């Protein structure tokens, strides 16, 4: 559903529950937070970590369904390294997926993975004669402000990552003193349509209405049958 359909749908449910009207500014705030909540649940919420089990119940690439839900946010970028082998993160970066690099062997181009190395193993890799980084076996360390590559003279590695969702927005123009939906100034949720009910439920929970997804589906089918 587009953002206007979602807003109208939520207003119907709020009026049905006699919770009053939902101003557009409040809906936009809730829509953004609800989308980010769903995004964090799919990506991997650290609050779900358990002692001696630092893995959330749901996380990126854990199942095909989660991968499909997050597919709109999978982005590729070509990184440009400075003379120290450092590259800055894309401005919308959230989480790394993979890093690769193209080498030429015997006149043929071959893409090789860049292994992400943790701090405690970096010194060993750099000083080792057996597993020292090379253009055929490059490595990378992730720091707060940049990615550090070894060897430092790699050219244009490819970075696949999860990006931030765009901020949803129900845009409007004023007509006769009333807000009228303006699709040109609106931004829809980026998740696949099958995730939108879940986002709507979270928006409703912020408003103070508690519904299960089955309740939402039942109400949606009723409104659809009424042609509303």
Domain definitions of the chain by residue range: 3-53+165-225, 80-156
- How high is the pLDDT of residue 61? 59
pLDDT at 228 over 50: no
pLDDT at 173 over 60: yes
- How high is the pLDDT of residue 80? 95
Averaged pLDDT of the chain: 85
pLDDT in tens, 185-203: 999 999 999 999 889 988 9
**Closest to 86 in 3D by CA, of 162, 128, 141:** 141
pLDDT band at 227 (very low <50, low <70, confident <90, very high): very low
**Closest to 3 in 3D by CA, of 24, 17, 33:** 24
- How high is the pLDDT of residue 226? 47
- How high is the pLDDT of residue 224? 45
Is there a contact between 13 and 209 (Cβ–Cβ < 8 Å)? Answer: yes
Q: How many other C-beta atoms are found inside a 10 Å radius of the C-beta of residue 149?
A: 23
Mean pLDDT of 49-61: 53
pLDDT in tens, 77-115: 999 999 999 999 999 999 999 999 998 877 788 899 999
pLDDT at 214 over 70: no
Across-strand partners of 115? Answer: 139
Report residue 217: phi and psi, to 5°: -65, -40
- How high is the pLDDT of residue 48? 52
**Closest to 9 in 3D by CA, of 213, 227, 225, 200:** 200
- How high is the pLDDT of residue 195? 93
Tokens of 215: 């309740």
**Closest to 143 in 3D by CA, of 87, 199, 67:** 87
pLDDT at 52 over 60: no
- How high is the pLDDT of residue 44? 75
**Can you say how many angstroms the Cα of residue 193 is from the centroid of all Cα atoms in its chain?**
15
pLDDT band at 212 (very low <50, low <70, confident <90, very high): low
- How high is the pLDDT of residue 64? 86
């Amino acid at each position: 559903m587009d953002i206007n359909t979602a807003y109208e749908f939520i207003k119907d449910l709020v009026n049905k529950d006699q919770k009053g009207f939902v101003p557009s500014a409040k809906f936009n705030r809730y829509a953004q937070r609800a989308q980010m909540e769903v995004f964090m649940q799919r990506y991997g919420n650290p609050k779900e970590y358990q002692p001696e089990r630092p893995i959330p119940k749901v996380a990126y690439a854990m199942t095909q369904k989660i991968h499909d839900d997050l597919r709109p946010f999978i982005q590729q970028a070509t990184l440009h390294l400075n003379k120290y082998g450092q590259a800055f993160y894309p401005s919308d970066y959230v989480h790394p997926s993979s890093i690769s690099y193209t080498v030429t062997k015997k006149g043929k181009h071959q893409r090789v993975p860049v292994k992400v190395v943790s701090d405690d193993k970096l010194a060993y890799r750099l000083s080792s004669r057996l597993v020292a980084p090379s253009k055929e076996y490059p490595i990378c360390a992730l720091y707060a402000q940049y990615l550090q590559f070894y060897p430092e003279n790699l050219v244009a590695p490819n970075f696949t990552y999860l990006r931030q969702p765009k901020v949803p927005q129900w845009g409007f123009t004023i007509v006769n003193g009333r807000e009228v939906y303006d699709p040109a100034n609106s931004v829809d949720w980026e998740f696949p349509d099958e995730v939108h009910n879940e986002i709507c439920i979270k928006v409703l929970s912020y408003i103070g209405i508690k519904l299960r997804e089955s309740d939402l589906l039942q109400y949606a089918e009723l409104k659809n049958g009424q042609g509303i």
